[in-house]
Amino acid sequence: MAFGLTRRKAALLLFYGAPILMLHCWDFVSQQMEAADSQWGRDIDVYELFSGCGELGNQCRAAGLNVRKSDISKGLHHDITSSEGFLLSLKNVLRVRYGGLLWCGVPCNSWVWMASSTTKRTTVSYGIMGNEAVPSVAAGNCIAARVALLCMVAIVRGIFWCAEQPGTSCLKDCPYISHVLTSMGPHFFRRMWMGNFDHWASKPSQLWGSWPDVESFSTRLSRAIQKRLQESSKGMYIRKRLPDGRVHVTGGKRLRSSGAYTAGFGKHVAKLLLKRKLQASWLIIPVSVSGSPHNL
């Protein structure tokens, strides 16, 4: 069965701490897919979760890759915090081919430093999970947990995954995500700059996940680009000095739009994926169990 949950994959998920309910979700989705009157197969090269404007997926599709995108802007049935939205995301992950990529542009609004005065994620009393009485924090924690489960499924299915976040995001320190990063085979981390990909701001960002090409992104931003972007990025942040001397920083009108990927960034990701696909190393995904590598 193309989508069925094998005994070995179930054992791997349980070994890594996935709840038994996750096995039931996988089994339910695979049965629904195989019972449907369709020719679904593992035909997706890139699944872009939280696609937003969809530029990354658009550039991958233009490069000849088969792409599937999900975002709540497409309708509430794409809301990963709902049962329907999570099962839809799981279905799409199951359709990704061996060596394909699950791209997670997780909403960062409750994970970035600028929101910490409201979310309390960085305080000792609340910890990284923050104040869940704040709706955005509760939603952010739910999304993180469900993304972690999808990444676990991706790994045991032989699929790479990669998450992108702003430079000040603490999402990777969330226990759900941290568990996947530290327990499930080799993972990679890189701080990079969206300014290297024709963004209107320098925009320091993070990439992390099991996708080895994460390490190919440059960690440097040339002085020439920094100088050019200094003027164009004005209005992204508003800094105000308080009476006690502290500087209060809030997001400006342009901050929200800064999260959209540029065509240049999408083209770079597509180029890396095509290169790996042509090299055929795209079929080899190491998963470590008691120190032993497995190709799943």
CATH number, position 141: 3.40.50.150
124 burial (CB, 10 Å; 0-12 / 13-18 / 19+) is: exposed
Q: What is the pLDDT of residue 116?
A: 87
Amino acid at 250: T
Q: Is 270 inside any structural domain?
A: yes
Task: List CB contacts of 117: < 8 A, sequence separation 6 or more.
Answer: none
CA dist 289 and 97 (Å) reads 22
**Chain centroid, CA 229 distance in Å:** 26
Determine the structural domain holding residue 72 and report its residue range.
22-32+41-226+262-279
Q: CA gyration radius for the chain?
A: 20
CA dist 95 and 91 (Å) reads 6
Q: Is 200 inside any structural domain?
A: yes
> Residue 114: is its pLDDT beyond 90?
no
Task: List CB contacts of 31: < 8 A, sequence separation 6 or more.
Answer: none
> Residue 252: is its pLDDT beyond 70?
no
Q: Is 53 inside any structural domain?
A: yes
Sign of CA dihedral 145, 181, 51, 69: negative
User: Is there a contact between 203 and 194 (Cβ–Cβ < 8 Å)?
Assistant: yes
Q: Is 234 inside any structural domain?
A: no
| Paired tokens of 142 | 């739910």
Q: Is 296 inside any structural domain?
A: no
Give the residue, 25 or 35, on which the prediction is more confident.
Answer: 25
Q: What is the pLDDT of residue 115?
A: 85
Amino acid at 80: I
Q: Is 287 inside any structural domain?
A: no
Q: What is the pLDDT of residue 224?
A: 87
Q: Is 160 inside any structural domain?
A: yes
> Residue 271: is its pLDDT beyond 80?
yes
> Residue 212: is its pLDDT beyond 70?
yes
Predicted structure pTM score: 0.87
Q: Compute the average pLDDT of residues 30-51.
A: 85
| Paired tokens of 241 | 């000095």
Give the lowest-confidence range in 19-28, 95-104, 244-253.
244-253
CA dist 31 and 114 (Å) reads 44
Instruction: Look at the chain and report how many structural domains it folds into.
Output: 1
Q: What is the pLDDT of residue 97?
A: 93
Greatest mean pLDDT among 74-88, 118-132, 230-244: 74-88
DSSP H/E element including 69: strand 67-70
Please state, for a pLDDT cut of 70, what percent of the chain lies above it: 84
Amino acid at 142: C
Q: Compute the average pLDDT of residues 267-274.
A: 95
Residue whose tokens read 């939603």: 139
End-to-end CA distance of the chain: 14
For β-strands 44-49 and 67-70, DSSP reports them as: parallel
What is the CB neighbour count within 10 angstroms for residue 189?
12
